[in-house]
Structure 1
């Protein structure tokens, strides 16, 4: 129990300051650093004044970014398994499978700084695209 309390305490010690800073930053809309003048401007994010609207990202780009994050947090094997599940569940993603698997291969080499260690996670998802991504960086 003592270890659990210590772990919770360390987590709070790391997370709480970040939460407080972010919540304080987001709560502040305008800080009067100088006396207000007619020339002072307040910048706000508004869809009425935005020059360009954010474009919706394609599903395969969202999947690629999610899997690259998963690869960093866990390992390439988990990301490759999830890629296979995603392409089986949504066949429209299959045309982008090799591209995503190559990106995962390159990211695995970057993570482990070793082609051999990255290659250890290779599996037959999207043919051999992961393996080709691994050797592209070599």
Structure 2
């Protein structure tokens, strides 16, 4: 049995835009997947610690999007402002917990811990009164919070 039909190459005419789009996707899609995977991996907190560092990081990011003056602010000033806002929105206990977490996560902030805790103590007296503010006192930064409460109360 002889086959008389020979295979011929299809003409270029049959290949149309679908083939070009397919080739483009075959080249571009892996690059897009790798980049999006890399971005997803870098945005995850892999350290397993509390998100206290992300509090400071979020402050840094928001400062970068604002005025040039905000960029010049030191990390401890950003943290203090963030915690003072948190004290008013939540309570002094939450702010003190986040202060301790921030100092644990970023030891360079330890030298500013007492001044931040005193500022939180003074703000707590203004917001809650001296008796209620004192009830939130904790041994964060060598009881500087209590010193700040006593400074406005006494």
Fold-level similarity (TM above 0.5): yes
Aligned counterparts, 1:1-138, within 5 A = 54=69, 56-112=72-128, 114-138=129-153
- Could you tell me the TM-score, scaled by structure 2's length? 0.54
1:83 Cα deviation (Å)?
0.1
Count how many residue pairs are aligned between Structure 1 and Structure 2: 85
For structure 1, the residue ranges without an aligned partner over 5 or more in a row are: 1-52
- Could you tell me the TM-score, scaled by structure 1's length? 0.60
CA RMSD of aligned residues (A): 0.9
For structure 2, the residue ranges without an aligned partner over 5 or more in a row are: 1-67
Deviation beyond 4 Å, 4+ runs, structure 1: none
> What CA distance in whole angstroms lies between the structure 1 residues aligned with 2:110 and 2:142?
11
Q: Say which is worse superposed, 55-64 or 80-89, in terms of deviation.
A: 55-64
1:56 Cα deviation (Å)?
1.0
